Structure 1
């Protein structure tokens, strides 16, 4: 493997050895994926819609940058879960039926549990902290562990925005959550986050969230701004509380097709992902700022800015340090060790 120009891309070299053990001699860069072998088309799948940053600023940018590099690579995009749900696509990447996929950390936890800790409540202070962790040696163990368990490469990671609470009463402190039924996704890490924050979790499918809030099945929920907007939750909730209690962490993963690429193609692809990481981060920040300002002035609901984030974070971190075990605890401690707070 060639050296990468960004620390973020060091994962490729770190994971080369375990992946090559699985594929034998497939890593010979002089194979059919080399420049002399003609154009190779890669499939890139994800579950996001065209209006979401992961698609328009992530997947679309990766395709554009790779094809602009003119190294004999093209990318065909399959968004909106066209190639299956998260679990199906993870299996397809591992088997080589899908070349590249964009997945949430919690979904990848089904393959390698410690990686789901990237979605732990208040693990990261903000998107800059996530980037710092991923660029540091502290991330090596979890990325290598995931490669060993899943047999796939990690090309990059970004935050798709922080998650916040909505409800029919303000949520400023952990005490405000007491006795309130809050919808959380059903993955183990999300349900652990609920306990860490002091919430009573109720599992409701994302597609049924609006109706559940409208009918009072749940009293509140938590999601990133882009999801809250797309679901029109201001129609059925009175308050948005800016708790920023969890980053939505996405990883760009690739099958062992990586080993069929020439070094020039590998570099073009990793460079493209690096551009996309920066683009998604910027797009998320711009979208969130515009949406929140629109809500503040529109009067659809009240935006609560004075959430006691320190109280929530102190409570959550203490719970997670006490509850997580083994490699998962090591990952959490590694993340917190890179915090500036």
Structure 2
């Protein structure tokens, strides 16, 4: 067992190109693509997202195969972005906030209430409205955005119900430390406290923070229902995954293979929307049945949305503001 684990660890450090023996592209028509992400094999982004891409690509019989590396086998978010840039990873699932380290304006995809719902995320990136944002990102990084989906809306948990921005006053709410998430806290009227996800449970248990915000699946995975009294269904942010691919899309794939891959991504987007809606409904029902963890379903979302929109229009500038406005306009 020790030898096996050591071998696997060593393999994870090898260049992905050596692991996958990537095909020669248009020259021989056969290409093996690597797809990497940070999710476990039982999470929707893998089961409904990554596996759908693999299945649909290979069913098309266009000389493409997909090898998936889940659970951060090929590194954390920052490492994988670097590997996409270098060409060692072909396709990656990344949050917009992580990609903002490469191109700041793309971070607004994670802005509070930027999107109407999960479907709007995918629809926006399929539309012409996203062309300027995708082109700006590609010009800066050389990376293509093939599509996007939401892994679910984020909600507040706390020891008090949160129905309006007024209810956030005086509360220390855990937010991730990325610039866009911290801007979201300001836009929503929250007092942000940065805590690593792995430390959230203990921080809540010891009352170092009064609450947090996350997707329902992460709230369950982190057992936050054990150390919080209320789940307030604020739906204040669609948690994004962008499906990104480096130069291999342009240099190694034929036009037919490009179309096959994009079609597979779109089918995965649709599958993800259905999976997330179903999973979130089940989780809300489960939480609602629990003793000591009350689901607050009368959050004044309109008040939160109006406040956030006013804040972003006032504080975003340049290409970031243009990207935010294009997202809001596309909802109409």
- What TM-score do the two structures reach when normalised by structure 2? 0.90
Corresponding residue of 2:94: 103
Q: Which residue of 1 aligns with 2:180?
A: 189
Please say if residues 24 and 30 of structure 2, whose CA atoms lie closer than 8 Å, have aligned partners that are also in contact: no
Paired residue for 2:85? 94
Query: Which residue among 97, 100, 109 is the counterpart of 1:118?
Result: 109
Check if 1:337 corresponds to 2:323: no
**Paired position in structure 1 for 2:264:** 272
Aligned residue for 2:226?
235
SS in 1 for 2:72: coil
**CA offsets 1:92-132 (integer angstroms, 9 cap, x no match):** 10110111000000000000000000000111121233233
Distance (whole Å) between structure 2 residues aligned to residue 331 and residue 79 of structure 1: 30
Q: What is the aligned partner in structure 2 of residue 21 from structure 1? A: none
Q: Which ranges of structure 1 fall in alignment gaps of 5 or more residues?
A: 1-30
Counterpart among 188, 200, 213 of residue 191 in structure 2: 200
> In structure 1, which of residues 73, 77, 84 is the aligned counterpart of residue 64 of structure 2?
73
- The residue correspondences of 1:244-259 to structure 2 (distance < 5 A) are 244-258=235-249, 259=251
Q: Distance in 2 between matches of 1:147 and 1:257?
A: 13
Query: How far, CA to CA, are the matches of 1:304 and 1:247 in structure 2?
Result: 19
Q: Describe the SS at the equivalent of 1:116.
A: helix
Residue in structure 1 matched with residue 42 of structure 2 by the alignment:
51
| Within-5 A mapping of 1:288-307 | 288-307=280-299
2:25 counterpart of 1:33:
yes
Displacement of 1:39 in angstroms is 3.4
Cα shift at 1:134: 2.3
Matches within 5 A, 1:4-43: 32-34=24-26, 37=28, 39-43=30-34
Cα drift, residue 68 of structure 1: 1.4
CA RMSD, 1 decimal: 1.3
Aligned position for 1:284: 276
Write the deviation string for residues 12-70 of structure 1: whole angstroms up to 9, x where unpaired.
Answer: xxxxxxxxxxxxxxxxxxx9313x61632111001111121111101111111111112
**In 2, Cα distance between the equivalents of 1:339 and 1:266?**
28
SS in 1 for 2:121: helix
Alpha-carbon shift at residue 336 of structure 1 (Å): 1.2
May I ask how many residue pairs the two structures share in their alignment? 309
Q: Secondary structure at the match of 2:25?
A: coil
Question: In 2, distance between residues paired with 1:125 and 1:70?
Answer: 36
